[in-house]
Amino acid sequence: MKKNLILLIILILIGAYYFWDTERMEKKEKAEEQAKKVFVHSNENIGQITIDKGTEIISAKKDGENWLLTSPLQTAGDKSAWDSLARTLGDAKSQRTIKDVTASLTPYGLDQPALKVTIADVDGATPETILFGKKTPTGSETYAMISGATNQVFTVYNYVQSAADKSLFDLRDKTIVAMDPNDVQRMDVQVGPTQYQLSRGTDPEWTLTAPFQARADKSKVDSAINKIRNGRVKKFIDENPTDLAQYGLVEPATRVVFWVGQPGAESQWSSKALLLGASAQTADQVYAKREGQNNVFAVESSILSDLPADPKAFRLNKITDVKSWDINHVAIAQAGETIFEASKEGMDWALIKPQEGKADYSDISDVIRAIADLEVYDFVSGVTDETTLGLDQPELVFSLTTQDATEEIALSAPKRKDFVEVRYGVREKPREIYALLIDDASEPVQKALNVKPKQEEPTPSEKEEKSES
């Protein structure tokens, strides 16, 4: 009993020593790591950074979550670039201390440093400056010292200097138009003399509202918005131009205005306008400027490809914008009689008509895609009597059901138009009459009639009975 007690005490003492020693070593390691830090500041409290390259001084100050350039000009800074630099500087550590430093700093390139970087709090307090000199003989590190710390030379990894050795262009915000695409409620476009307007709604999500009413192709509208939102300035041309005519920006070739705000609160929307002018010196770029701002810059000319002169290019040419993967029920009626019907059950499809049974997933998908991919042959305007087109008595009806609603696509009996056979249909919100080629409209019907129930695998007993017979 006594021996066990002594053994227990020894184990407790060993454990206590282990934990004490581990904690001591951890504190020692942390202290050593802290001693290696180049700056007292951590990246979290760096609020100002100045880069002195001798011939150019670039300064920026943190403004909330963003950075503002204060020198050599006042403008928005590249948030990611300045955040990255702040992290690099705040975490920078000395790798090796040079002990035998002579009175001369020339061997280290620190008598006339090519780069000086100063950091401070957001209010400018407690500034610290690091001087960068030559690379070490191995080439993997750079000599450096803190300003005021005479002859206290150390080395840092090269990436610390590289992170700070940036151009004004690198550190400047290059966003073309700052906006959240989800907040864009309207887009006004002018290409030469042509003007048109696109508005966001709920059903459908985008509509051409001028010069005519039509359902818009959401993917094309989103592409136009995102290309500008995600695009970047390629070159800053002129900060204070005196002659915009040389850039083609007095009467810009293209003007696009984004109205940003919340749905239904039009009086509170704000506008952001981009002007696109003449071709820049580089063939794949055009001059541009934001309305209300002075500076001219260059952007990729590919932006223009998503802002066509003809508003019809934004028109939804598909018969529907219902997504095929959202459909859980499909039906086809011809001359008032349902000739095909299928319903989704979990991950499988059940065929209801022309006969019941499990259906092959790919077969039903082919039918749905054939309907969803139908393209409009032509849009029809100026019709005063729709009965002449046979729209009062549709001959063919496609029904597509999703979790939210059912869309019925009703088509007329075959008609003659422009020397081709077509079926006419009507699309609502806004109301549009369109024509489909007969062959195109017939394809989903043919695919549907070819769908057959899956052949069920025989049970083991059925297999046995068959073999015995």
Question: For residues 258 and 272, is the Cβ–Cβ distance under 8 A?
Answer: yes
State the Cα–Cα distance between residues 34 and 411, nearest whole angstrom.
Answer: 76
Question: For residues 164 and 117, is the Cβ–Cβ distance under 8 A?
Answer: yes
Task: Say what angle helices 361-372 and 438-449 make with each other, to 10 degrees.
Answer: 160
The pTM of this model reads 0.80
Domains of the chain: 43-171 (no CATH), 181-314 (2.60.40), 324-449 (no CATH)
State the Cα–Cα distance between residues 319 and 441, nearest whole angstrom.
Answer: 10
Closest CA to 423 of 410, 407, 405: 410
List phi, psi (to 5°) of 160: -65, -45
Give the per-residue pLDDT at 29: 46
DSSP state, residue 456: P
pLDDT tens column, 344-364 = 988 889 999 998 999 999 999
Q: Would you write out the chain's pLDDT as a tens digit for each of its 469 residues?
A: 666 666 666 666 666 655 554 555 554 444 444 556 888 888 788 999 999 998 999 999 999 999 999 999 999 999 999 999 999 999 999 998 887 777 788 889 998 998 999 999 988 888 999 999 999 998 899 999 998 776 789 999 999 999 999 999 999 999 999 999 999 999 999 999 999 999 998 767 899 999 999 999 999 999 999 999 999 999 999 999 999 999 999 999 999 999 999 988 889 999 999 999 999 988 899 999 999 999 999 999 999 999 999 999 999 999 998 888 999 999 999 999 999 999 998 888 999 999 899 999 999 999 999 999 999 999 998 888 889 999 999 999 999 999 988 999 999 999 998 889 999 999 888 889 999 999 999 999 999 999 999 776 655 555 555 555 5
DSSP state, residue 6: H
Q: Which residues pair with 409 in a beta bridge?
A: 398
Buried b (16+ CB within 10 A) or exposed e, 276-288: bbeebeeeebbbb
Q: What is the 3-state secondary structure (H, E, C) of 208-246?
A: EEECCCEEECHHHHHHHHHHHHHCECCEEEECCCCCHHH
Give the per-residue pLDDT at 4: 66
DSSP string, 80-145: HHHHHHHHHHHH-B--EE--S--S--GGGT-SS-SEEEEEE-TTS-S-EEEEEEEEPTTSSEEEEE
Q: Report the C-alpha dihedral over residues 461, 462, 466, 469, rounded to 10 degrees.
A: 60
State the Cα–Cα distance between residues 116 and 146, nearest whole angstrom.
Answer: 10
298, exposed or middle or buried, with CB in 10 Å at 0-12, 13-18, 19+? Answer: buried
Q: Report the C-alpha dihedral over residues 31, 34, 36, 37, rounded to 10 degrees.
A: -170
pLDDT tens column, 147-166 = 877 678 999 999 999 999 99
State the Cα–Cα distance between residues 77 and 60, nearest whole angstrom.
Answer: 7
State the Cα–Cα distance between residues 25 and 34, nearest whole angstrom.
Answer: 14
